[in-house]
Amino acid sequence: MAFELAFAVLLRLVLVLSPLRRLLKDDSQLSSPLTSYSRLREGIYLFREGINPYSGGTFRHSPLFLALFSTVIPDSEAFAAILWACVDVLGAWALVRIWRARGRVGTSKRDSLIAALYLLNPYIFLPSLSLSTSTFDTTLQLVSLMFAAQGQASASLLTLAFTAHLSLPSLLLLPPTVLLLLADPYSHLASPRPFNGKISKGLPLFAEFSAYFCSLVLASTVVSDGSGWIINSWGAGLLLPDLTPNPGLWWYFFTEMFDHFRPFFLMIFSVHLVIYVAPLCIKFQHDPLYAAFLLLGVLGIFKPYPTLSDPGLFLSLISLFPETYPHLRYPIVTTLLHLHAFLLLPLFHHLWIATGTGNANFFYASTLVFGIANGGALLDCVWAGLRVAMGEEREGYVIVQE
């Protein structure tokens, strides 16, 4: 596995020195208003000059990024390229450790494959190359799941608190993470049983997470010298003030929305994200890691400001569940849809923005194809996760689920 990690870092460093990095730097498919490196550098400059970066309404990163990049991390794109590559490697390492915990093995032949599938996934690779801070969100989510799979409650909850602080929709991962800490990461898809732990044991875990989260909120308020960052950072995901085009499904809908309908549909879109948590956690209570995996797929589709790294994380996690592969119904169709969308997104964006021969409908059509591809993959994985519980016999299927 060391060879794959070294190769991935070397490849990124080579591409950083090429003109490709400059072309991808401000690509709206790879970085959003909440994750753009250009906006981050602008905010750091204002912060160092004693100007509140949140006063202009364009800086939407967490104050923790301000504190980190203005004190500890040098403000250099060359150093940032190395840092982003190392963060990606950390994510691949965490993914491998999750696989080992799930399979109860120390090392396996599959380790290198899992690391390679993550590091060479273009949905993960390209946002990292553009220095999108979504790379930090993705890696922190994996590290949190890794600690939970290893039974390290405090480390997992603290990492998840950082993740939710940087990307508020990640709060949806708290219930399956707590279930994972109360259960185990082993594969139980083939033999589902009701959750045998006591839910009351999860209350201290929720309280511990709340303490970490509130501490980060307090630290951010001190760093930014006020609470104005909340409406500009977290509020952006709820109020959608910036309608910069992205691969998601929100921006075009609210571009065409009449103002007096806007609050109602903002509430509907926000609540829509939440309604998946309870059904998935209840149905897959016997395998909380799989429930967390499916919720990451939901976020990849319906997140307010997604980038390619959001569905990329979901697709990379499929490598952890080889027992579901025989039960996937349309893997070829889903793969072709993703390939189709991956080609259409930059093409239609270029026709609209660069050449002026297209319009917003062109790009939004490609995002709909992308949404269908992600939705197809998610539904296929839900089906496969349920179908594993059925054992095949000569004359049909026998249900092993009680």
Reported as a single tens digit per residue, the pLDDT across 339-365 is 999 999 999 988 888 887 878 888 999
Q: Exposed, middle or buried, 281 (CB in 10 Å: 0-12/13-18/19+)?
A: buried
Taking every pair of Cα atoms in the chain, the longest distance, rounded to a whole number of angstroms, is 75
* Per-residue pLDDT at 234 exceeds 50: yes
Q: Is 245 left (phi over 0), alpha (psi -120 to 50) or beta?
A: beta
In the chain, pLDDT over 70 holds for what percent of residues? 94
Where does the pLDDT of residue 398 fall: very low under 50, low under 70, confident under 90, or very high at 90 and above?
very low
Ranges 89-93, 185-189, 377-381: which has the least confidence? 185-189
Domain ranges across the chain: 2-323
* Per-residue pLDDT at 21 exceeds 80: no
The pLDDT, as a whole number, for residue 178 is 94
**33 close to 242: Cβ distance less than 8 angstroms:** yes
The pLDDT, as a whole number, for residue 391 is 58
Residues 19-26 have a mean pLDDT of 77
Reported as a single tens digit per residue, the pLDDT across 116-140 is 889 889 999 899 888 899 999 999 9
Dihedral of CA atoms 122, 128, 134, 136 in degrees, nearest 10, equals: 120
The pLDDT, as a whole number, for residue 359 is 83
Where does the pLDDT of residue 291 fall: very low under 50, low under 70, confident under 90, or very high at 90 and above?
very high
In the chain, pLDDT over 90 holds for what percent of residues? 50
Rounded-to-integer distance, Cα 169 and Cα 365, Å: 25
Closest by Cα among 395, 69, 29, 392 to 244: 29
Where does the pLDDT of residue 198 fall: very low under 50, low under 70, confident under 90, or very high at 90 and above?
low
The pLDDT, as a whole number, for residue 395 is 39
Rounded-to-integer distance, Cα 320 and Cα 309, Å: 18
CA distances in angstroms from 281 to 139, 217, 292, 315, listed in the order given: 22, 27, 8, 20
CA distances in angstroms from 260 to 238, 257, 263, 315, listed in the order given: 16, 8, 7, 38
Reported as a single tens digit per residue, the pLDDT across 50-103 is 888 988 778 899 999 988 888 878 777 778 888 888 899 899 999 999 999 998
Higher pLDDT, 302 or 12: 302
The pLDDT, as a whole number, for residue 1 is 63
Closest by Cα among 304, 309, 284 to 295: 284
Dihedral (CA of 207, 168, 154, 381) sign: positive
Where does the pLDDT of residue 179 fall: very low under 50, low under 70, confident under 90, or very high at 90 and above?
very high
